[in-house]
Amino acid sequence: MYHLLLLLLLGTIYAQEPDDCSQDDSMSQDEIEDPNGQENYGDMPDTLETTHLNDCLLGKCHNASIEKNKRFGDVCPDKSTCSYQAFNCLKKFAWAVYSCVCRRGNLSSISNVWANNQIRCVAQRACPNQHYAWIGVWKPYDYSYYVNVNGSRLPYSNFACGQYRTHGVWCVAINLSNGLWYSLNCFTSLPFVCTI
């Protein structure tokens, strides 16, 4: 029990300390809100496009990756090793999901503060001039809860103040300067992070 409390305390301290991959390039709330100040009721497709796409190649995208292994818990479901790969190709949420699936992975779900920081850091390296990147979290229906793209419940969340929205369809991006999560219009084009 003592070790568990110590790990939780260290994780909290680690999450609060700035690290070597942090920058102070955050966007203001006005820059990410709908300019008309309205909720996002745009529909996301229930199924993704199945036509052949060149997205499976992603060869022209600047990317960065970090390899992980099973000892870090939920990071590599069904695999002993995997990697976070961030792609600096601007895609709408559904196309980001599709691009990760094409690479035999998923848009990255985040299970703890450590994984949140790792994903933020790898996305910062791949996308140095971007402020946000898609992660594998969304709110698929008007009055639903936020879930991972595979439909599972969130074991962890890091929403910025006011960003856990109760109405509308939203897709979630991580702020690359502070690691906080923002609910954005799913048709916004952003870089993205896959777990492969």
- Where the chain has pLDDT below 50, the residues are 1-20, 22-53, 69-74
Q: What pLDDT score does 63 carry?
A: 60
Q: What pLDDT score does 59 carry?
A: 59
Percent of the chain with pLDDT over 90: 54
H or E, element range at 2: helix 2-16
Q: What is the DSSP letter of 129?
A: T
Please list the residues that pair with 190 across neighbouring strands. Answer: 91
Contact 184, 172 (CB under 8 A): yes
Specify the amino acid at residue 50: T
56 Cβ neighbours under 8 A, 6+ residues apart: 99, 102, 103
- Give the global pTM: 0.70
